[in-house]
Structure 1
Amino acid sequence: MTFYFDVDCGFCRRAAQRLRRLAPLIDVAPLPLRHHAVFRTAGGDELGHRAIGAALSRGGGQWWVRLVGRVLLLRGLDAPLTMAYRVVAANRPLVSRLLPGV
């Protein structure tokens, strides 16, 4: 199971560092992605917020991390979470500049 993030995005790199700590059972690797994160398993790929949710729910080291992952995967939340993910993804350079240490 591997989570791929955009190597050229400061926000994405920082989020990937946090994911490594929260979900130690997941391999986290950089790729030159442009539109969304990818979580790849033998069963297929999850994209965007669903990639984050799948990585947390399947690789989370603590129960609450796995719970947060499962919440991100709730079908009823797909529309608002997809919108939020797209807004952040479309503004990655700005988000990276606004966050200290990125």
Structure 2
Amino acid sequence: MTFFFDADCGFCRRAARRLQRCAPLIDVAPLPLRHHAVFRSAGGDELGHRAIGAALRDGGGAGWVRLAGRVLLFRPLDRVWSGVYRWVAANRPLVSRLLG
């Protein structure tokens, strides 16, 4: 199981390091991505917020991490999480500055 993130994005690098600490059972690898994070597993690929959710659900060590992943994968909330993900992706420089 591998989570791929945008290698050129400071926010993405920082978030991927945090993801790796929360989900130690997955590999995290940088790629020159522009649109979506990707989580690749035997079940196929997930993109965007669903990639983050699947990585947390499948690779999380703590129960709360796996639960957070399930919340991100809860289909009735896809529009909400997708909108948040798209906003963050479109404003990565701003989000990086705001988060330091």
Q: Which TM-score applies when normalising by structure 2?
A: 0.97
**1:66 aligned counterpart, secondary structure:** helix
Match of 1:44 in 2: 44
Match of 2:83 in 1: 83
Using the TM superposition, give the Cα deviation of residue 42 of structure 1 relative to its aligned residue in structure 2, in angstroms.
Answer: 1.9
Distance 1:32 1:7 in 2: 5
Using the TM superposition, give the Cα deviation of residue 92 of structure 1 relative to its aligned residue in structure 2, in angstroms.
Answer: 0.7
Moved over 2 A (4+): none
Match of 1:35 in 2: 35
**2:5 aligned counterpart, secondary structure:** strand
Q: Which TM-score applies when normalising by structure 1?
A: 0.95
Distance 2:91 2:6 in 1: 13
Distance 1:7 1:95 in 2: 16
Match of 2:16 in 1: 16
**1:72 aligned counterpart, secondary structure:** helix
**Counterpart residue identity of residue 39, structure 2:** F
**2:51 aligned counterpart, secondary structure:** helix
2:7 matches 1:3: no
| Sequence identity (%) | 79
**Counterpart residue identity of residue 30, structure 1:** P
Q: What's the Cα RMSD here?
A: 0.6
**Counterpart residue identity of residue 71, structure 1:** V
1:48-74 deviation digits (Å, cap 9, x = unpaired): 000000000000010110011011100
User: Number of aligned pairs?
Assistant: 100
Unaligned runs of 5+ in 2: none
**Counterpart residue identity of residue 98, structure 2:** L
**Counterpart residue identity of residue 97, structure 2:** R
**Counterpart residue identity of residue 93, structure 2:** P
